[in-house]
Amino acid sequence: MLIKLFRSGKGGGSAPVDYLIASHVLAYDGNRDLIRDDAGVPLMKSRDPLPEVLAGDPDHTRALIDACPHAWTYRAGVISFDKDDHPTDEQQQAVMDAFDELAFAGLDRDQVDMLWVRHSHEGRVELHFCTPRMELTSGKSLNIAPPGYQKAMDSLRDMLNKEHGWADPQDPSRSQDIKQLPEKKFRAQGREDIQHWLEDLIVAGRISSRPDMVAALEGAGFELPRQGKTYLTVKDPDSDTRWRLKGDIFHAD
């Protein structure tokens, strides 16, 4: 089991929340290449089983993110189990509770909002979470991953993996596979793939404004070092590869 927080957090609540609960997503092959029909249009696939909301309310979380007055409006991530872990429902609840206790230490439940959604369509359990970056009673900024957070998250991961015998991502026998995944993912993603992906999200109604587009890119793990009126510079932070995306698609206001 591993805990990952995404490089994201700006924009409205539609992009992060709608992605978690969507019944259909873009179809990729084993190399993370988009699967297209004969006309070059990206194909969609059904999530089967469908996403399950385990805690929180998607509409409430979306509205709170929309109302957040800060530059960074949300934080999202995932607790992902290996295909051989098979955590029970009770164990999954205990993991979510432990994460909440760490992330919101010292705060009461009415001070925070947390959406938990389970994905299992990839053949393993993924507990996705999304929280507004705002303490609800005061409206002040609330960052569940301040500088140095990784050490605490790693300690929680290691404790739970040891307690339940789940797969350890730090196991040397797994390190080769773990290191290769980001490389394969981003090698398959070029400028055209990213632009087609954004266009598909617009057609699907999941992007209706430029902030939504920015949030979708950041939610996918990209950085945006330059944002012009008619273009966006998209950067893969792992490989430092950059793409310039431009055209009418970026006039969505």
Residues 191/235, Cβ–Cβ less than 8 Å: no
CA atoms within 13 A on the CB side of 249: 21
Q: Which of 62, 75, 67 is nearest to 10 (CA)?
A: 75
Strands 2-5 and 74-80: antiparallel
Residues 72/133, Cβ–Cβ less than 8 Å: yes
What is the model's pTM?
0.70
> For the residues 172-187, what does the mean pLDDT come to?
45
pLDDT digits (tens, 9 = 90+) for 37-83: 888 887 888 999 999 999 999 999 999 999 999 999 999 999 999 99
Measure the N-to-C terminal CA separation of the chain; round to a whole number of Å.
Answer: 40
d(CA 17, CA 70): 18
Provide the token pair at 63.
Answer: 């509205």
d(CA 216, CA 230): 17
Q: Where are the alpha helices (DSSP H) in the chain?
A: 14-21, 58-67, 89-103, 149-164, 172-187, 191-203, 210-219
On average, the pLDDT of the chain sits at 84
| pLDDT bracket for residue 191 (50, 70, 90) | low
The neighbouring-strand residues paired with 44 are 26
Percent of the chain whose pLDDT exceeds 70: 81
Residues 216/234, Cβ–Cβ less than 8 Å: no
d(CA 195, CA 198): 5
Per the listing, tokens 């992060």 go with 16
pLDDT digits (tens, 9 = 90+) for 220-250: 778 888 888 778 888 877 677 888 887 555 5
